[in-house]
Every structure is written in C-alpha cells, then in structure tokens.
Structure 1
C-alpha cells in the first residue's frame, strides 16, 4: 500500500501527486491539515521531523522532500523525467530548483505568515506572494524553451514544479501576462491526465 501524507493546497504535495500519476500508481491520500497545525503532531513528526508535507510511504520506506521523492519515483519507476546528457539533466534540475527552491520556500505559508505578523499590517499575504512569485516566474520564463514543455518536446522534472506554482500564482492574482511561454506550457500540462488528476480541487481536503 502506498500512502501520501499531504495537504491539498501544498505545491510540494501537488508535485508528488503528479509524479505518482505519471507512474500509474494508486495511493491513499492522508490529509495533514496545515491550517490546523496537524503537521506538528507527534504522529506526523515521526514521519517527517521537519513537520512538512509531503511524506510518501512506499516500498516499505517513508520519503520526504518533494524533489527527492520525485527523483526516487523517476529512478524506480522509469519515468524519464531527467533524460539526456549530464549537462542536459543539470539544466532540467536548475529549472526545477528555480521554482521549488527559490520561489516556493519564501512563499511557504509559515514564512509568509511570520513576515506579515512582524510587519504589523504593512505587508499583506497577497502582496507578499505577488512580490516573490511574479519575479521568480519571470526568471523561469527566460530559462525555459518555447514549449510545448519546460525542457522541450517531453515532460520532464521542471514541468512537475511549474504547474503547481502557476496554480499558486493564479490563486494570489499574480499578473502572468508577460509570461507567454509559461502560460503556453501550463495550458498544455493541464490537458495531461496525471497533471489534471493531481489538481488541488480534485484532492481530498
């Protein structure tokens, strides 16, 4: 049995749901409600001492960190998410990390909430998100190829990071008009079954 401990709006969990779908795997989704603080429960900390989602129980082990989980699935289920030469794989990892490591952490709910509380009202949640998601995606726009996917002709690792971040951008009303390549790629990804099925609106919450 495969269990994914996730939260419906977590972009890190969203990435892993896509990877599981691409692998054709069936899993049980176990909600860890971040708003209610369930990530700090003893039960969840026993799975992930960081108190974060997702955590994936598979093959008799528990894995954490979305990119590490995706690469594990890629290697064990032959997803082909990092094809090509060493240089080409490095470029794909750079694209994925530009989203998952540079945009996502600073827009993490706990980080944003702390900044807003410390600002004593000078910063709003939407203002914080727009300040970092927009410029971050502009850099990714300059890095990607002109579709149909981030790395060219096929789905690769950065695509699994892009669509969840586009979802977040839309949620916070980030202006995407200057990102034609990313909008084109996102529209293509939305047509793929594994990506569509992983959407937060289709996830238990």
Structure 2
C-alpha cells in the first residue's frame, strides 16, 4: 500500500472531505498541517507543493494531487472497495451531481479567500459577511433538500461522495449560525454520518492542528 501524505488545515472543508474518504477506505496516511490563518499556504515552500497555494494537497508515490474532488476520484479508482461512487452510470452521475453542487456552487462562494476579500478589499462588516455566507448556503441547501430521498444517507444506504461533501458544508453552516430547521433530510444525513467513526475521526475538532 502506498504512503499518502495529506497537506491539510483542520477547518478546511476540502481537506475535511478527503480525510473522510481516506477513513472510509481504511487507509493509513500522514498529515502535514498548513495554517491558513498564518498564511503558510502562501509560502514559497508550500507553493512548490501546490502552485495554487490551496489546501488540501495529497502526496502519493506517483506525485502530488490538488483539488479535493480529484483526490476522491483517485482514491476511488486506486482503492475501489468500499466504493464511495457506487451503482450504475446514472446512479454515479447523480451522486457526482450532488457533490459538484456543494463543491462547485456553494463552497467556492463561502471559502476563506472569498470571505477575507469581502472583509478586507471591499470593507464588508462582519454582519454583512455572515449574511453573504448564509444566503449562499440556504440557496444551495434548499435545492439539495429537494433532491434527497428517504435513505439514511444521500441516495444510498451507505455513505458516498455526496455525503463526504455534504458533511463539511453542514459543519460550516452550523459555525455560521445558519438555520437548518427547514432542512430535516440534510440534518438527518449529517447526524447519521457523524454516528460513524470514519466521519467523527475526520472532523475538525479531532485534528491535531485544532489545538
């Protein structure tokens, strides 16, 4: 089994996704903490690892991989069991669609770079910044809630790439005091996922750099 090193930050949603997937696959990996608040992602040393200066980065025996969704796909292809993108072509497309809705349409609008730009360059106050965050979360979650069925997880009896992407986004929504009472399916899935050790062990509060 190849050695995997994950450059991570404990509250990074994207890194959180990858930690969950690694745990679900039962893989051993090392973590290298990159403190986003201290700007370590902008250092020359880290940019030699990831030219974008973003986390996470996954180092494998073949080289580095950036972008969390690419990492999840690589993990699925390299370690196919247990599968995080199961089913026929339609079912896999449906799971990817939910994952992309979260990772492409919600998360980029609410990540640290955007929030720092709103506060810094545009001079948005804290209340307005939180309103921005809450608006885009509710837009995305309203659409997602309507697509979920009665399964214990997102469209499946087992956690998949959709759940892997959803849980970190719910965690952040709770941090920013988003009212989730109108999303009972999302809340149920979040609770079901966090009943599993693989999800709990990946959560921000259980990472060594959270202290």
Q: Which TM-score applies when normalising by structure 2? A: 0.92
List runs of 5+ in structure 1 lacking aligned partners.
none
- Taking the aligned partners of 1:2 and 1:72, their CA distance within structure 2 comes to 12
1:85-144 per-residue CA deviation (whole Å, 9 max, x = no partner) reads: 212111111000111111000101111121233443456332221121122111111122
List runs of 5+ in structure 2 lacking aligned partners.
none
Q: Is residue 112 from structure 1 mapped to residue 128 from structure 2 by the alignment?
A: no
**Structure 2 residue aligned with 1:139:** 143
1:125-180 per-residue CA deviation (whole Å, 9 max, x = no partner) reads: 32221121122111111122222001222211100001100100000000000000
**Structure 2 residue aligned with 1:156:** 160
Secondary structure at the counterpart of residue 35 of structure 1:
coil
1:30-49 per-residue CA deviation (whole Å, 9 max, x = no partner) reads: 11111111111111111111
Q: CA RMSD in A?
A: 1.3
**Structure 2 residue aligned with 1:70:** 72
- Taking the aligned partners of 1:15 and 1:120, their CA distance within structure 2 comes to 31
Map 1:1-205 onto structure 2 (within 5 A). 1-78=3-80, 79-122=82-125, 124-205=128-209
Secondary structure at the counterpart of residue 120 of structure 2:
helix
- Taking the aligned partners of 2:183 and 2:151, their CA distance within structure 1 comes to 12
Q: Quick check: 1:95–1:144 contact (8 Å CA) kept in 2?
A: no
1:182-205 per-residue CA deviation (whole Å, 9 max, x = no partner) reads: 000110000111101000000121
Secondary structure at the counterpart of residue 153 of structure 1:
coil
Aligned pairs, number: 205
1:72-95 per-residue CA deviation (whole Å, 9 max, x = no partner) reads: 101111131111221211111100
- Taking the aligned partners of 1:121 and 1:11, their CA distance within structure 2 comes to 23
Q: Which TM-score applies when normalising by structure 1? A: 0.95
